[in-house]
Structure 1
Amino acid sequence: MKIGIATEQDYTFIIDRDKHIPESLVRTKIQEKEIYIIRDSESKVGWMRFGYFWDNIPFMNMLWIDEEYRGQGIGKEIVLLWEENMRQRGFELVMTSSQSNEEAQHFYRKLGYRDAGCLLLDSQPLEVILTKNL
């Protein structure tokens, strides 16, 4: 398994799968090195995308791993890599979120993330906000 920063060649892979971001922003995210791609040999099997909360706290917006590759430690590997990259860039805190009805919140807690609050939007499950000191 190989994890790397997304390039322009990954654009179609991302827009075909990530429906939580406008296509118009994907190229900017790629240029800003805010998307990581997970590869198994030549196949792309997942991605992680981040931005910045309040423009200065790294916030992991999306982590997706194809079903057949889950449970193998890949998610942990990419999160730890991202955290290390953020630490090297001088950040002391990172954030993410998960809907309260998703298993992901438990995954993040196992990696040391702590509940920091929640967000409730109309017709959406409760969104749990998680933070981690680096």
Structure 2
Amino acid sequence: MRIAVANNSDYGYIQQRDHHILQGLILQKIKGNEIYILRDEDENYIGWMRYGYFWDNTPFMNMIWVEEQYRGQGLGKQIVFFWEEEMRHKGLKLVMTSTLANEEAQHFYRKLGYRDSGCLLLEDEPLEIILTKKIT
């Protein structure tokens, strides 16, 4: 697997699959180097990871997506560790993410060292668990 910062040629792939972001923000995220693309040895898309900043200063992982046929191979773990290392190189000491309480992802993040740090309850939505990890 190869991980690279997304570029404009990746826009179509992301735009067709990432339904959790306003379409108008995708190019902005690409230009800001806030999307990573995962490819196999033949340069086929495997997935992506997108992040932003909470409080404008704390990296917040918004989305990891691995195509169905590549799941269960530890690729999600690899992209998380890659991202954490990139954030560490920027001099940052804490990263965040979140997941719904009814999603299995919470267990994935805890296995990677993320700790429950609070929650958010929106009307008519499941509980959102906020997770953080020190990367010093």
Over the matched positions of the two proteins, sequence identity in percent amounts to 63
TM-score (norm 2): 0.96
Instruction: Give the CA RMSD over aligned residues.
Output: 0.7
Where does structure 2 lack aligned partners over 5 or more consecutive residues? none
SS in 2 for 1:124: coil
SS in 2 for 1:122: coil
Cα deviations by residue, 1:109-130 (Å, 9 ceiling, x for unpaired): 0000000001111221111000
Corresponding residue for residue 101 of structure 1: 102
> Distance between the aligned counterparts of 1:131 and 1:9, measured in 2?
32
> Distance between the aligned counterparts of 1:125 and 1:65, measured in 2?
23
Return structure 1 stretches of 4+ with deviation > 4 angstroms: none
Corresponding residue for residue 48 of structure 1: 49
Corresponding residue for residue 122 of structure 1: 123
- Tell me if 1:5 matches 2:5: yes
Map 1:16-31 → 2, pairs under 5 A:
16-31=16-31
> Distance between the aligned counterparts of 2:72 and 2:43, measured in 1?
20
Where does structure 1 lack aligned partners over 5 or more consecutive residues? none
> Distance between the aligned counterparts of 2:127 and 2:68, measured in 1?
24
Cα deviations by residue, 1:37-87 (Å, 9 ceiling, x for unpaired): 111222112110000000000000000111221110100100000000000
> Distance between the aligned counterparts of 1:100 and 1:38, measured in 2?
27
Cα deviations by residue, 1:76-104 (Å, 9 ceiling, x for unpaired): 10000000000000000000001111111
> Distance between the aligned counterparts of 1:8 and 1:123, measured in 2?
36
Map 1:46-125 → 2, pairs under 5 A:
46-125=47-126
